[in-house]
Amino acid sequence: MPSASPPPVSQPTSVKVEHDKGLKRDIGKIGLLFTGVGSIIGSGWLFGAFEASAMVGPGAIISWALGAVMIGFVAMNYAELGVMFPVAGGVIRYPHYAFGSFASYTSGWITWLSAAATVPIEVMAAVQYASSYLPWLMHNVDGVLVLTGGGIGVSIALLLVFCVINYFGVRLFARVNNVVVWWKLLVIVLIIVVLVSLAFHPGHFHEARFGGFLPEGPAPIFAALPAAGIVFSYLGFRQGVEFAGETNNPQKNVPFAVIGSIVVTGIIYILLQVAFIGAVPDKLLSGGWSGLSFTNEAGPWAEIAILLGAFWLAVVLYIDAIASPADTGLIFTALSPRLSYSQARVGNAPQFLTKLNKQGVPWAGLIVMFVVSCFMFLPFPSWAKLVGFITSGTVLSFGSGPVVVAALRRQLPKQERPFKLPGGDVIPFIGFLCANLIVYWTGWDTNWKLFVAVALGYIVLIGHYVFHKDRSQIPPLQMKSGWWMLLWMAGLALLSWIGFYGDGALKLLGFGWGELGALVWTIIVFVVGVRNRLTPEEVVSTVHHTHIDEPDQKGAGE
């Protein structure tokens, strides 16, 4: 961190924001939108409709719509922040502005960990689909498909390709991504049209012999949001925020990309779910929706296409089953080094992570991400459980955003906000509640691992403070304004433990009571967090320190 002091300030109510120097502003409006759409449409949709149908039945349509609305409430807060502070890695830096170093580290650690884990998951998904016709890539161990030695090598090679594309700049990344996103959208439209024209059974949505609209009752509607990968499938909206420092007109492009990506994909997912429910052959529903199963390891969509005689569509799906997750992996490969860059910019990580090459790419963070992701190519016992971990962790990191919005409106009331949410604290509070409910619905069997990972992050933070050569470059933790995050997570952990969802939960709170507990806890933490915000003077100093210097651009590429 620079040692220079900010200019004298008298009762500041706004602060001048300097754009990150060295980053290239090469992403246009559609390019930024497509980073979100491309990130959202990854491996999740290939299994989401099937998993949601098995859990909820036809009512899964409600789950997809509810997921879009809830994530939309969270995302709208970042649309306001992303325009006000168009910087790279904003999900990490916004809590730093409002609550200081400890708050931003807490949010940043779990955000980076979730993003870094998403890359190998998407790569593994692509390799798993390819193993349908290249069986040497994976083998069955105790009923679970795991990578072979050759599969690990191919996975690492694919990850290396992602890194090379990203190393040569955001312009090349955006061009490649735009082409792949158009492909993915065309395939999805093709699937919807072909399946609806070949087979559509309206009775699946309401007839008693299939269980009706909600065969398992209303509770699975909410449990499916994290468990069926529905929320996971929407989390790519963040790209409009993370690349805000690299778009040519953030005031217009960021809200368009953040909100637009959720609207576009929400419509797509609902139509896909409708097409899936209508196209499932009656014979597969003999045991009801909860007994629905497929034998084709390439995925349920391909098997339905084969059962309907559309073999050519199955071939297209085989191809897309590699292209879709690969594109999402490419996007998260771009995201991860920008997150570590932001952690270093606020002093919570080593400064070498701020190094940029001539193309304005954080190359040091790209290398770190590559190494960490390679170690994650392990035979995970459950891909779905790891997706649940990523969902809960990412939503938890996003959850601080609404509180940041409410705090900054009090800290910097005169700050220019080209995009401002109406209704005062209403939308921020709803967004915070939505985030807490999603974490709660994820269930104790997943959440306990998440909170252990957060605790490990604090050990890393202690090591950063103890072993750093120049302690003057590390910002103070500012626990007075950031301690509420410990309160927040402790309460969520307790609710999850005594709640209704997940293996190992005590189920002391039945369906409905746990949701009421989440509402009460949201009110308490929201009030405590906003009241413990930094002073306006501290906000100005924090923003000034994180924008005053130009990142070191020496290194690879020069």
Residue 375 to residue 426: CA distance in whole angstroms? 43
Cβ of 314: how many Cβ atoms within 10 Å?
Answer: 20
Q: Is the pLDDT of residue 9 over 50?
A: no
CA within 13 Å, CB half, 275: 23
CA within 13 Å, CB half, 261: 32
State residue 243's pLDDT score.
63
Q: Is the pLDDT of residue 480 over 70?
A: yes
pLDDT, greater one: 477 or 153 = 153
State residue 528's pLDDT score.
96
Residue 21 to residue 548: CA distance in whole angstroms? 10
326-360 b/e with 16+ CB inside 10 Å = b? Answer: bbbbbbbbbbbbbbbbbbbbbbbbebebbbbbebb
Q: Is the pLDDT of residue 558 over 70?
A: no
State residue 504's pLDDT score.
86
State residue 245's pLDDT score.
58
Of 8-22, 47-61, 433-447, 479-493, the poorest mean pLDDT is in: 8-22
Are 369 and 349 contacting, i.e. CB atoms less than 8 angstroms apart?
Answer: no
The C-alpha R_g of the chain, in whole angstroms, comes to: 23
Are 341 and 90 contacting, i.e. CB atoms less than 8 angstroms apart?
Answer: no
In order of 31, 63, 220, 224, the CA distances from 503 in angstroms are 42, 21, 15, 15
**What is the tens place of the pLDDT at every residue in 367-419?**
888 888 887 776 443 455 566 777 788 888 888 999 999 999 999 888 888 77
The secondary structure of residue 247, as a DSSP letter, is B
Residue for token pair 């994290």? 226
Mean pLDDT of 142-154: 78
**What is the tens place of the pLDDT at every residue in 270-288?**
999 999 999 988 888 888 8
pLDDT, greater one: 67 or 147 = 67
**Model confidence band, residue 89 (pLDDT cutoffs 50, 70, 90):** low
Average pLDDT, the chain: 80
In order of 423, 492, 513, the CA distances from 520 in angstroms are 21, 11, 11
pLDDT, greater one: 65 or 140 = 65
pLDDT, greater one: 491 or 172 = 491
What does the DSSP assignment read for 405-464? HHHHHHH-TTS--SS--SSTTHHHHHHHHHHHHHHHHH-HHHHHHHHHHHHHHHHHHHHH
Mean pLDDT of 538-544: 80
In order of 25, 82, 345, the CA distances from 21 in angstroms are 10, 17, 12
Q: Is the pLDDT of residue 473 over 50?
A: yes
**Model confidence band, residue 434 (pLDDT cutoffs 50, 70, 90):** very high
Confidence (pTM): 0.78
State residue 101's pLDDT score.
85
State residue 18's pLDDT score.
55
